[in-house]
Amino acid sequence: MKLDNILISKIDFDDDTYLLGSRIDSPLLLNSIKEIGLINPPILRDKNHVYQIISGYKRLKACKELGIEEVFSRVYKSGEISNEECLKIVFYKNQERLSDMERAELLLKFKRLCGLEQNELIQRVLPILGIVPSRKNFEKYKRLAELEREIKDAFYSQKISIEQVIILSEMPSPIRIEILNRVLLKCKMNTNETREVVREIIDITARDKRDVKEIIDEIEIKIGQRDVKTDLLRREVKLMRYPMLARVEEEFKGCLKSLNLPKDVTVHHPPFFEGNYIEFRMKIESAQRLSEILSYLASVLHNGLLNKLLGIVKEGKQSDRSF
């Protein structure tokens, strides 16, 4: 290895053999190099006087955009360093900031560039990457590595979380792209909500013998395609997955109407009837008003309507959940 000034024009930017992570240019990196220069020399490999980038792809690309003609670099001769040693450099130069997705991409590079078998990848490479060596972890990171670029870019641009990526990785390719573009990128959901919605959409497709696109088309017709709200989406998916919920919901509203409650009292059932309770909310401005409301509720209690309301909630919890 030697230190040398290398012409930017001699660097092969089409060779992304060792590139990990986002392909999106970073304005922050560009501005940093513009203001203070390139502090950390990139690492290159000389391949017949055309230089392959081992580490520093994004820094070099920023230099090229800024019109810098040559960069001070660490340069290896072609036969001086192996693919495995190059990959280890990539890891150790970036290990503190590598995401699970980038570790997955690196694992796949060890497999493809070094020709390592599964057992060797599990026992030798996973520990290098800071991953507990097991077949389960190997399969998890392999699935992540083989995901479509579209999903990886959504993750790297922080539009979806790594947990959501993992959920997508467990699904067949056409389905996960449809879910990504038409569900995850349209509304914000946490991990549990994502897992629930995805599971129920898959259940609907299996039950009704329809594809995911048809199911999402139907949901979009009902809720509209713009500014999709999470609660609205989850509700429509639930109603499609458990159609009896719609009937129970109407029955609940009808019983609630017959209670003829004061306007400053509202009654709510648990979301999707996933509970054995009802919730009363009151707005009061005086002790006298509270006393009046409580007296009215006591009279309602005696006529059995509250018990009927609770019965509807319990029915909703048990409705068509056994697919």
- Please enumerate in sequence order all residues whose Cβ is within 8 A of that of 27, keeping only pairs 6 or more positions apart, or say none: none
Domain-embedded: residue 323: no
Q: List the beta bridge partners of residue 55.
A: 43
Structural domain harbouring 233? 156-241
77 and 103 housed in the same domain: no
- Average pLDDT across the chain, whole number: 89
Average pLDDT over residues 191-204: 93
Domain-embedded: residue 246: no
- Please enumerate in sequence order all residues whose Cβ is within 8 A of that of 210, keeping only pairs 6 or more positions apart, or say none: 204
Domain-embedded: residue 110: yes
Say if residue 321's pLDDT is above 60. Answer: no
What contacts 24+ positions apart, CB below 8 Å, involve 198-203?
A: 198/167, 198/171, 200/237, 200/238, 200/240, 200/241, 201/237, 202/171, 202/175, 203/241, 203/323
What confidence category does residue 303 fall into, taking pLDDT thresholds of 50, 70 and 90? confident
* Alpha carbon distances (Å) from 33 to 20, 27, 29, 67: 20, 10, 6, 11
| Predicted local confidence at residue 52, as pLDDT | 96
Domain-embedded: residue 89: no
Q: Considering only 77-91, 192-206, 296-310, which range has the smallest mean pLDDT?
A: 296-310
Question: In this predicted model, which residue has the larger pLDDT, 304 or 182?
Answer: 182
Q: What is the DSSP letter of 157?
A: T
Domain-embedded: residue 231: yes
What confidence category does residue 296 fall into, taking pLDDT thresholds of 50, 70 and 90? confident
Q: Which of 81, 110, 127 is the last residue of a domain?
A: 81
Helices (H) and strands (E) in the chain, counts: 16, 6
Say if residue 320's pLDDT is above 80. Answer: no
Say if residue 305's pLDDT is above 80. Answer: no
209 and 268 housed in the same domain: no
The CATH number of whichever domain residue 47 belongs to comes to: 3.90.1530.10
Q: Which of 191, 218, 241 is the last residue of a domain?
A: 241
Average pLDDT over residues 88-115: 94
Domain-embedded: residue 160: yes
Say if residue 240's pLDDT is above 90. Answer: no
Q: Considering only 126-140, 158-172, 237-251, which range has the smallest mean pLDDT?
A: 237-251
| Predicted local confidence at residue 49, as pLDDT | 86
Q: Tell the burial category of 123 from Cβ atoms under 10 Å away from its Cβ (0-12, 13-18, 19+).
A: exposed
Question: Which is nearest to 10 in space by CA: 80, 60, 58, 55?
Answer: 60
| Predicted local confidence at residue 323, as pLDDT | 43
Average pLDDT over residues 28-38: 84
163 and 199 housed in the same domain: yes
| Predicted local confidence at residue 267, as pLDDT | 87
Count of domains forming the chain: 4
Q: Which of 241, 269, 291 is the last residue of a domain?
A: 241
pLDDT in tens, 271-291: 777 778 888 888 888 999 899
Q: Considering only 15-19, 94-98, 112-116, 167-171, which range has the smallest mean pLDDT?
A: 94-98
| Alpha carbons 211 and 318: distance in angstroms, whole number | 27
217 and 260 housed in the same domain: no
User: Token digits for 208?
Assistant: 């009704």
| Predicted local confidence at residue 322, as pLDDT | 46
198 and 227 housed in the same domain: yes
Share of the chain above pLDDT 90, in %: 55
41 and 99 housed in the same domain: no
310 and 285 housed in the same domain: yes
pLDDT in tens, 136-179: 999 999 999 999 999 999 999 999 999 999 999 999 888 999 99
1 and 71 housed in the same domain: yes
Phi/psi at 311 (5° precision): -65, -40
Average pLDDT over residues 80-109: 94
Domain-embedded: residue 116: yes
